[in-house]
Structure formats: C-alpha cells, structure tokens
Homo-oligomer: A and B are copies of this chain.
Amino acid sequence: MRFDEGYSGKVFIMSRPTHEEADAIIYGMPMDWTVSFRPGSRFGPNRIREASLGLEEYSPYMDKHLEEVNYFDAGDIPLPFGNPQRSLDMIQDYVEKILEQNKFPLGLGGEHLVTWPIIQAVYKKYSDLAMIHIDAHADLREEYEGEALSHSTPVRKICELIGPENVFSFGIRSGMRAEFQYAVNSGMYMAKYDVVEPLREVLPRLAGRPVYVTIDIDVLDPAYAPGTGTAEAGGITSKELLEAIQKIAESDLNVVGADLVEVAPVYDPTEKTPIAASKFVREMLLGWVK
C-alpha cells in the first residue's frame, strides 16, 4: 500500500516504514487539472516532503517530537492526468480505506477540489461532521465556466452535503458577490480576512465534535507563500497560521482528518512556500493526531 510509481520514493521525515503500524497516513494528491489560473500544485506534495528534511523533528510550539506520532507517508496516489472524475473517485476510495482502518488521513494537495471526495469519505463515517476551512478564497461557486468539478466549487458542494451550518470558513478575502451572499444566507460561518481571533470564538462551539480541517496555503499572504496558483494579496502571516494550528490542537475538538493544499512550488524560486508548508504539516501531525 505504498504508491511507488511516478515520484520514486521521497517521504516526509520520520515516516514509519509500513502502513500497518501507523496511526496516521500522509498521502499526496498530485492533481491540478481543473485549475483556472496557474497549474503546478501537482508537485506540491513532493516538495513538501523534500523541504521536511530541513525541519527539526521536535516542535517547541507543541513541546512534542515526531517520534511520538506513528505516521506513514504513502506517497502520491497515481491520479490519471486530465481526468478529474476518475481522480476524485480514486481519492475517495483511498480515504475510505484509511478510515476503515481507523487511521488519520493527512492529505497533501494538489488543487483544492481534492477536499470534495475526502469529505464524502469522511462524512460516511461521521454523520455529525463539521469542517474548518482556512483559505483566501470562498470556493463557494456552483460551477466555474460550465464545469461543476472545479477548484472553485468544493466548499459549496460540501455545504450541500454536510449542511452549511457545519462549515466554518476563516481568512476569506476573495470571491464573487454571490459567494459572499451565500455565506450570509445559508447559515454557514465565514470570518473574513482573519483566522486566529475568529477561531478563538468558534472552537468552544465545536467541542467534542468530529471535525475535518482543510488549509489552503493561499490563506497566507503571497509574501509568505508565493508558491501557489492563485496568490491573493492581503493575507495572514506564517506566525498566525502556526498559532491557528496550535489553537485547534489545544481545543476540545476531535480532529478526524486534515489536508494542506495548493502548494505550487514552481512560482516560488526561494522555496519558502514548501519550507513553511512542511512546518505546518509537522505541527498538524504533532497537534492533531491523537
């Protein structure tokens, strides 16, 4: 159950040697074929793995060491280039399998559309699921230029599946008017621009519930994460995102899965985007996998 084809063998630091012994599974979804602007997030998962080599294994934020978490990096799912529907099916199947084994799925994108099949899988298991969505973009479109399977639509689809009242968006600073109106009218929660302060308020409300967390790297300002497809000025800092991850870790949520998406390394010759992303993954592993 190791995906070896295509992107031979890189793993996140301290990955356990086998799937079986792991409590959490890191898996890549190298898919960027529905993006409307700049492609390249297919290379995100591997660059994050590579950048993980520069990380310390101990986190002073969590006061915890990676050896305290049993995870296995399964590599990238070999998604078929240019075939969105088949790609989404493969992701959903894979996540269902992980969940059946009671392991924590930690996905690396790829474009944000990948969260849609993941949530379909997670929702099958947790019918009272809530989702925390940290992003620059609302992703609430019904379709994008005629295509319902688009990186602009996943949160809308998820609202329709699990109920908008169970979706909590943070940091949103871009979208169509209709998306912001939907956010207001549907009953979902949306915090514009900021992440940490609104989280502080929302987290107690979610105590005890199963929650899936999806982070789009473009919630960061392009100063911090230029390596992404649709960079949007006016974002938060790395320090704030680290604080958000920590706040969630310290809360009483039951985090049941998570992903980090939209790292597109080619737009960032300084490599600071995968460097930051690999640190966020370390913190997610240390703080959220119980």
Which A positions have Cβ atoms within 8 angstroms of B? 6-11, 13, 15, 32-40, 42-43, 49, 53-54, 56-58, 60-61, 63, 65, 78, 80-84, 144-147, 149-150, 172-177, 180, 192-193, 221-224, 226-227, 230-235, 237-239, 242, 266-272, 275-276, 279-280
Q: Which residues of B contact A177 (CB under 8 A)?
A: 58, 65
Of the candidates A6, A81, A177, A272, the one having the most CB atoms from chain B within 10 angstroms of its own CB is A81
Q: Which residues of B contact A58 (CB under 8 A)?
A: 175-177, 180
Q: Which residues of B contact A54 (CB under 8 A)?
A: 37-38, 230-231
Contact B80 A145 (CB under 8 A): yes
Query: Are A242 and B237 CB-contacts (below 8 A) given A33-B82, A39-B39, A60-B174?
Result: no
Query: Are A40 and B37 CB-contacts (below 8 A) given A8-B53, A78-B145, A81-B144?
Result: no
Contact A176 B56 (CB under 8 A): yes
Q: Which of B61, B78, B176, B238 contacts A223 (CB 8 A)?
A: B238
Contact B268 A266 (CB under 8 A): no
Q: CA–CA, A60 to B279, complex, Å?
A: 31
Contact A234 B242 (CB under 8 A): yes
Copy number in the complex reads 6
**Which residue in chain B gives the minimum CB-CB distance to A192?**
B60
Q: Which of B38, B57, B81 contacts A33 (CB 8 A)?
A: B81
Contact A231 B272 (CB under 8 A): yes
Whole-angstrom distance between the Cβ of A36 and the nearest chain B Cβ: 5
Contact A233 B238 (CB under 8 A): yes
Q: CA–CA, A266 to B175, complex, Å?
A: 26
Contact B81 A172 (CB under 8 A): no
Given contacts A8-B11, A233-B238, 18 further A-B contacts (CB under 8 A): A6-B53, A8-B13, A9-B11, A32-B39, A38-B43, A38-B54, A40-B266, A56-B174, A78-B145, A80-B146, A81-B144, A82-B82, A83-B84, A223-B237, A224-B233, A226-B270, A234-B242, A269-B270
Contact B279 A232 (CB under 8 A): yes
Contact A233 B272 (CB under 8 A): yes
Contact A234 B239 (CB under 8 A): yes
Q: Which residues of B contact A83 (CB under 8 A)?
A: 84, 147
Contact B226 A272 (CB under 8 A): yes
**Which residue in chain B gives the minimum CB-CB distance to A194?**
B239
Whole-angstrom distance between the Cβ of A162 and the nearest chain B Cβ: 24
Whole-angstrom distance between the Cβ of A192 and the nearest chain B Cβ: 6
Q: CA–CA, A176 to B81, complex, Å?
A: 19
* 13 A–B contacts, CB within 8 A, in A order: A9-B9, A38-B43, A39-B39, A58-B177, A60-B192, A81-B144, A81-B147, A82-B149, A222-B272, A222-B275, A223-B238, A223-B272, A270-B270
